Amino acid sequence: MLPPDTRRSSDKAHIANHYIRASIGGALRQGADAKRLIAEADIPGHWLDSPDKLITERQLSELVKAAWRATNDEFMGLSPHICKRGVFSLAAELSQGANTLGGMLKQSARMYSALSDDLDIGLELEGSSQTPLVFFRLHLRHQGEDADHFLQEFIMLMWQRFASWLVGQQIPIASTVFGYSAPAHAREYRAMYLGELIYEQPCSGFYLHPRYLQLPIIRNAVELQAFLRDCPAVVLHRPVRDNSLQTRIRVLLQRHDLEQMPELDDISQLLAIAPRTLRRKLMHEGTSIRQIKENLRHDFALKLLASEHLSVQEVAEQSGFAEAAAFCRAFKRWTGQSPSQWRQARC
């Protein structure tokens, strides 16, 4: 599981009151009792009409579970057709047969496409030759039952968080896009989603660089069952963002091929920070553009090398090295071992 965030507890109230009614709206249309549902989440009844009352991650998680029970529907009564409970668990279990993140996303898209007419899901290549991106489409075909966008929001969160958990690192999402205008509670999205937020698009989903599709699945069956038991709490948890300059630069660079990352002047222009100021601030943080790039290649190479289905040559190419020999020299500088020695030591 991703490292726990000790600065924000699941018992700290920081989630907008909007989500009380939004999460149980489908169940209410089916005749469920509102006060009974929120009582199951340990929320006082009068909070339904108290917009100033914030709720905790734990309470929202319990509301979702209450909606699941009331509707017997993983889509919580927020789409025209029922999605039987257990479908996501089945998709998650089948992901164990995929070697890579890309394989998992494609496999899950095929499964949901076969089972649900309400969710338009798929993986496609977009972007330019300089910044190629893949788009994971997660779009509700029918928005009428989901007027508050809660189901759309939950599905987007679920796949971003689950994908990152499967590969054991936070996947750098380039942008999260929505097939509707910014809602009244849009400021909540800043704490929920990664990357740039873009509204009024043809469909909802998120963009990432295609190299991350090569990341190996590292979770085993026992870990997966623990993840599923913790749902939806693990999906709804909001990690605190790291707003340091080096993190902002790292996120920017992750949108580019590792062998074609922008230089200092380009980064300065993109961040609207003078080159000298940028260099000085990074020095204050104990790093540099060169070191950030080196760390990106290092981290990505270790992830790929842990996967047995890729050769050292393939890892070198995907990590941004023109030659395997240059990669091997860099790898020995990073770890004190050759790639083959490092891989053998893990066996």
Cis before 44? omega within 30: no
Contact 35, 27 (CB under 8 A): no
- Band of residue 268 on the pLDDT scale cut at 50, 70, 90: very high
- Rounded Cα distance, 80 and 76, in Å: 10
- Band of residue 347 on the pLDDT scale cut at 50, 70, 90: low
Strands laid side by side in the 205-208 sheet: 119-127, 132-140, 205-208, 175-177, 196-198
Give the bridge partners for 15, in sequence order: 55
Confidence (pLDDT) at 131: 64
* Strand (E) or helix (H) holding 226: helix 221-230
Q: Is the pLDDT of residue 4 over 50?
A: no
DSSP tag of 16: -
Confidence (pLDDT) at 314: 87
Give the bridge partners for 122, in sequence order: 137
Print the SS3 string covering 85-151. Answer: CCHHHHHHHHHHHCCEHHHHHHHHHHHHHHHCCCEEEEEEEEECCCCEEEEEEEEECCCHHHCCCHH
Q: Residue 238's closest CA among 16, 14, 1?
A: 14
Q: Which tens digits make up the pLDDT trace of 306-322? A: 876 788 898 888 888 88
Q: Which residue carries 């920017």 as its tokens?
A: 252
Contact 147, 25 (CB under 8 A): yes
Buried b (16+ CB within 10 A) or exposed e, 96-108: eebebbbbbbbeb
Q: Is the pLDDT of residue 128 over 60?
A: no
Confidence (pLDDT) at 340: 87
- Band of residue 3 on the pLDDT scale cut at 50, 70, 90: very low
Confidence (pLDDT) at 2: 44
- Rounded Cα distance, 27 and 34, in Å: 8
Q: Is the pLDDT of residue 1 over 60?
A: no
Q: Find the distance separating the first CA and the last CA of the chain, reported in whole Å.
A: 22
Average pLDDT rounded to a whole number, residues 260-266: 91
- Rounded Cα distance, 168 and 218, in Å: 7
Average pLDDT rounded to a whole number, residues 137-150: 91
Average of per-residue pLDDT values in the chain: 89
Q: Which tens digits make up the pLDDT trace of 74-111? A: 999 999 999 999 999 999 998 888 889 999 999 999 99
Percentage of the chain modeled with pLDDT above 70: 95
The three-class DSSP label of residue 253 is helix
Any idea what the Cα angle at residue 205 is, between residues 199 and 206, rounded to 5°? 95
Q: Which tens digits make up the pLDDT trace of 280-299? A: 999 998 999 999 999 988 98
Q: Which tens digits make up the pLDDT trace of 163-207? A: 999 998 888 898 999 999 999 999 999 889 988 899 999 999 999
Average pLDDT rounded to a whole number, residues 23-46: 95
Confidence (pLDDT) at 7: 40
